[in-house]
Structure 1
Amino acid sequence: MLELYTDRLKLRSLHASDWEHFYALNSDPKINHFVRVAESQDALRCKFEQRANTWSYDSGDWLTLVIETVDTGQFVGLTGLYCQHLEEQRAEVGYLLAADCHGKGYATEGLKAVIDWACLSFNVHKFVGHCAKDNHASARVLEKCGFRLEGLLRQQLKIGENWLDECAYGLLADERRL
């Protein structure tokens, strides 16, 4: 079981008891506005069960970590990474926070912890992050973690009937902000 700590946060592996939070977060249309159309409960249950399994760097699966406050244990959201490109030493990062936890710096703090841990634990050369062009809050999280905008992918992301432009961000491991 993985546990990471920051001054304010605990990041840990998913437990079976996290299902309600996982479902609420991933099915909320407001939270997922720039991410995806909310998936069915069955689809989310399958995703949850897969992500609750023991993770390894070379599994080709997303590492999903629960973010909680250290002082109260309040559920904040989810963060993690995806290491599909092992030979290229590249990892994709992601995060999704509960609406009442937006604007408190939790996404930035949690993402920095994941990146630092991955740099110390694995030979990651580059981290990649994506967000819809109009998702300014998510772009700001990536930028505060040291990511640089590397390109705009026009009409890359389809959510419902709408095509959205997507920004591609990159962070070289040796450029991260400690």
Structure 2
Amino acid sequence: MLALYTDRLKLRCLKESDWEHFYALHSDPEINLYVRTPEPEDVIRKKFMQRADTWFYGSGEWLTLVIETVDTGLFIGLNGLYCQSIEEQRAEVGYLLTKESHGQGYATESLKAVIDWACLSFNVHKFIAHCAKDNKASARVLEKCGFQLEGLLRQQFKIGEHWVDDCAYGLLAEERQR
């Protein structure tokens, strides 16, 4: 079973006992303010079951890793990796953290670990990430990891009744921050 470690964090695969945390993150309107309108429980449950299933790179599914503290096992959030193209060596990354974990560097630390692991394990050449234009905290995380803003997709998606501009970020493997 996959496990990645940093100085403060352990990233591991989802398991059935993570359902409560997964549901809490995906159903909280404040956490999802820049991501999506929270979906019904059955839709979130289906997503959880798919992401808790055995994963392989190129499966067409997201790998979702639980982020927890090394010392206490406290649930911090989720980090994900998705193979966009094996041939073009391109992967997408994402993260979602509990409100209590914001502003402590956990997103940056866990994202760097996933990027390093993906470079070594899957020879990823380029990483892609998206965040809403107004999500300044997420943009800072990406920039701390070396991502560069590559474009703005105007009114790209809708959350509730509001159209959201989406920032497209890219990171070449050779540019990643260690």
TM-score range, shorter chain: over 0.9
Instruction: Kindly state the Cα deviation for residue 143 of structure 1 after the two structures are TM-superposed.
Output: 0.2
1:32 is matched by which residue type in structure 2? N
Q: Which residue of 2 aligns with 1:77?
A: 77
CA distance in 2, matches of 1:30, 1:48: 20
Instruction: Kindly state the Cα deviation for residue 84 of structure 1 after the two structures are TM-superposed.
Output: 2.5
CA distance in 2, matches of 1:9, 1:123: 24
Q: Does structure 2 retain, via aligned residues, the 8 Å contact 1:83–1:91?
A: yes
CA offsets 1:48-102 (integer angstroms, 9 cap, x no match): 0000011100211100000000011000000011103222111010000000000
Give the stretch that moved more between structures: 117-126 or 79-88.
79-88
Q: Does structure 2 retain, via aligned residues, the 8 Å contact 1:66–1:79?
A: yes
1:92 is matched by which residue type in structure 2? E
**Percent of pairs identical after alignment?**
76
| Aligned counterparts, 1:155-170, within 5 A | 155-170=155-170
Q: Which residue of 1 aligns with 2:172?
A: 172
CA offsets 1:2-59 (integer angstroms, 9 cap, x no match): 1000000000000100000000000000000000000110000000000001110021
Structure 1 runs not aligned, ≥5 long: none
Q: Which residue of 1 aligns with 2:92?
A: 92
Q: Which residue of 1 aligns with 2:16?
A: 16
1:115 is matched by which residue type in structure 2? I
Q: Secondary structure at the match of 1:127?
A: strand
Q: Does structure 1 retain, via aligned residues, the 8 Å contact 2:58–2:85?
A: no
Give the stretch that moved more between structures: 147-156 or 82-91.
82-91
Q: Secondary structure at the match of 1:59?
A: coil
Q: Secondary structure at the match of 1:57?
A: coil
Q: Does structure 2 retain, via aligned residues, the 8 Å contact 1:132–1:157?
A: no
Q: Which residue of 2 aligns with 1:107?
A: 107
Give the stretch that moved more between structures: 84-93 or 147-156.
84-93
With normalisation by structure 2, the TM-score equals 0.99
Q: Secondary structure at the match of 1:131?
A: strand
Q: Which residue of 1 aligns with 2:64?
A: 64
1:169 is matched by which residue type in structure 2? Y
CA offsets 1:128-157 (integer angstroms, 9 cap, x no match): 000000000000000000000001111012
Q: Secondary structure at the match of 2:87?
A: helix
Q: Secondary structure at the match of 1:54?
A: coil
Q: Secondary structure at the match of 2:134?
A: coil
Q: Secondary structure at the match of 2:58?
A: helix
